[in-house]
Amino acid sequence: MSPIKNYFSLIKFSHTIFAMPFALIGFFVALTQTKFITQKPWWQLFLLVVLCMVFARSAAMAFNRWLDKNFDALNPRTAIREIPSGIISSKNTLLFVIFNCAAFITCTYFINPICFVLSPVALFVILFYSYTKRFTPLCHLVLGLGLSLAPIGAYLAVTGKFDLLPVLFSFTVLFWVSGFDIIYAMQDEEFDKGNNLYSIPAVLGKVKALRFSELLHLLSLACVITAGVYGHFTWLYWIGIVVFGGMLIYQHSLVKPGDLSKVNLAFMTSNGIASVIFAIFVLLDLFITKIKFPL
């Protein structure tokens, strides 16, 4: 495997599919505003936002792998990861984290002052998540919080201000990601208990963890429905919600407390489809009914 592919595997680049669609929603929702704080062409801002997403997520994922390398080496499920298996050194992983953090901050500098000022805060949230499993079972919510910065961050890049609509999309991401991370963590319930690590499955057990995940996903669905009403979206948006909600129900039908064989299908496939299809319908709604800008 080439070095580039190794680093793509290290950061699970394919998982960008979870937050990136919501960043695009935040960006294009912002373009429906009548006034922007910048005179930059929209496509320049778009490129900077995408780069910010890539650099921030790469930093967060690589830092998590670096910090958890000893636990990963002990866990049979994760021992094949790049650092414990010797494919990428611990030193090079840390250098990769530093590079991506610097690149993220640099991109925010070229977006606008508020994004630049808030960039260390965003980095703190997404990097701090890696420590949380050591002291709180609410680590899943911290992960959700980190990814939830995508839509509001993209909105800030265009408008330079906070607004309720992108915040509702951020809460959608927070509850959605936290919910499916709990499902994913069920695979490591016994390992977490044996190594003094905290997670909802390790504290509550699989049955109650699934119920907690379902509650979070209901909250996510409530937020995205509220966003639809508040944002005066059309029928296209509501088709997207049907798909999004359907995929949430589908992933919970796949995973049972006594059968975790379909966790990866629930985690990657159903959530990837949920975010991408939902974003497509939201963007179609925006482009057809709301966005007016020169290409």
Note the pLDDT tens digit of each residue in 60-83. Answer: 999 999 999 999 999 999 999 999
Domain assignments of the chain as residue spans, ordered by start: 3-289
Contacts of 213 (CB under 8 A, 6+ apart): 179, 180, 182, 183, 200, 252
In CATH terms, 3-289 corresponds, of 2.40.30.10, 3.40.50.150, 1.10.150.120, 1.10.357.140, to: 1.10.357.140
Rounded-to-integer distance, Cα 143 and Cα 174, Å: 8
> In the prediction, which pLDDT does 58 show?
94
pLDDT band at 34 (very low <50, low <70, confident <90, very high): low
Note the pLDDT tens digit of each residue in 107-149. Answer: 999 999 999 999 999 999 999 999 999 999 999 999 999 999 9
232-to-21, 148, 225 alpha-carbon distances in Å? 20, 22, 11
> In the prediction, which pLDDT does 36 show?
55
